[in-house]
Amino acid sequence: MIVTTKKLFEAAYGKYAIGAYNINNLEQTMGLFRGNMDSQAPFIIQISKGARSYTHKLMLEGLIRSADAVFPDAVFAVHLDHGDEETCIDCINSGFYSSVMIDASHEPFEKNIEITRKIVELAHAKGIVVEAELGQLGGVEEHVKVDEADAKLTNPEQAAEFVERTGCDSLAVAIGTSHGAFKFSGNQSIRLDVLEQIQKLLPGFPLVMHGSSSVPQDEVERINAAGGNLKGAKGVDADQFLHAAQLGVTKINIDTDGRLVWTRVHREYFRDHPENFDLRPIGKVFMDEYAKFIASKNQKLGSAGKLPEVKKML
Ligand code: G3H
Ligand code: 13P
Ligand code: ZN
């Protein structure tokens, strides 16, 4: 069942976070639904602009509608990830998405507010919720001075003003994470201190953490041992997810870790089965591994086992 994130966030706030997973194809879709059903978790499907154009935007829509029929007990939101104005409007008018992200975080503060408010008005008129972003995501390098790094993080006072003036339903905050497999060059981690300040000024308001893949070191080692070259890859400590959730993070975005599963499965499979040229055996291994990956992430997020109580709230 497709829902907006509103109810999911109400159920989770302060206790656990909902996993927001990016998909691009059939095998990911199948593994995603199976993993969430196996772990009895509500979830968010994220579709990026790149995913929409990988084949055709209607292909992913068709896959998700079919998965909804195959897994009638699943409860999930369909969310546009990192949308620009044009893509948000297309998704709002599609009648399919239940949530969009307008990402104008690269714009100056006032312009970000103007663009976000416009999308909020269009989306709310159709019952669709909006995630916005304030601050700049970026990996923390050890050589960068603390005040320079802090300048890119979300300013808590600005965050409160931004939410008030835009009417957005959730806010992606920059607290030291970045997208991809190379997040930190030293011992840095999520800036829970900044998150705490934001929560104090926005109590009860759902916050979103992007760039949350943990880039498991055993996964990286297996990829490298099977011919990959991902030296120095490093991610977020998944044991901090619940602490972040207590500080108001209700949605945690994970894409890179799923790509690492895909890479490990394919590299190892073709290394070990050089004679194989059939796409289905490897596809089946990937779907199984992807489902296991989703279920184990949901344990870390605290969303595993929460499906029955969320269903009661709907
Ligand atoms: O934040 C970006 C997501 O990982 C999606 O990546 O734009 O390559 O699909 P993508
Ligand atoms: P990762 O690259 O850490 O998986 O982040 C994904 C993300 O933030 C999608 O919006
Ligand atoms: Zn992101």
**Could you report the per-residue pLDDT of 40-85, keeping only the tens digit for each?**
999 999 999 999 999 999 999 999 999 999 999 999 999 999 999 9
Residue 125 has pLDDT above 80, yes or no: yes
pLDDT for res 146: 60
Domain 5-313 has CATH 3.30.70.260: no
Residue 237 has pLDDT above 80, yes or no: yes
Q: What pTM did the predictor assign?
A: 0.97
Contact 223, 260 (CB under 8 A): yes
Atom 5, ligand 2: which residue's CA is nearest?
211
pLDDT for res 185: 79
pLDDT for res 144: 58
- pLDDT band for position 25 (cuts 50, 70, 90): very high
Distance CA 86, CA 40 (A): 35
**Could you report the per-residue pLDDT of 163-199, keeping only the tens digit for each?**
999 999 999 999 999 999 999 877 778 999 999 999 9
**Could you report the per-residue pLDDT of 250-276, keeping only the tens digit for each?**
999 999 999 999 999 999 999 999 999
pLDDT for res 184: 85
DSSP letters, 180-199, are: SSB-BSSS----HHHHHHHH
What are the extents of the domains in the chain? 5-313
Q: Probe ligand 2: pick from 45, 103, 212, max atoms within 8 Å of CB?
A: 212
What percentage of the chain reaches a pLDDT higher than 90?
92
How far does the centroid of ligand 2 lie from the alpha carbon of residue 278, in Å? Answer: 31
pLDDT for res 143: 56
pLDDT for res 189: 84
pLDDT for res 148: 65
Residue 140 has pLDDT above 60, yes or no: no
Q: What is the mean pLDDT of residues 26-30?
A: 98
Distance CA 86, CA 81 (A): 13
Beta bridge partners of 76: 2, 43
- pLDDT band for position 139 (cuts 50, 70, 90): low
How many of the other CB atoms lie within 10 Å of CB of 36?
28
How far does the centroid of ligand 1 lie from the alpha carbon of residue 313, in Å? Answer: 31
Q: Is the CB of 51 under 6 A from ligand 1?
A: yes
DSSP letters, 240-255, are: GHHHHHHTTEEEEEE-
Catalytic residues: 81
Q: Which atom of ligand 1 is nearest to the CA of 82?
A: 1
Q: Which atom of ligand 1 is nearest to the CA of 51?
A: 9
Task: Output the ligand 2 site: residues, CB below 6 A.
Answer: 22, 81-82, 179-180, 210-213, 253-257
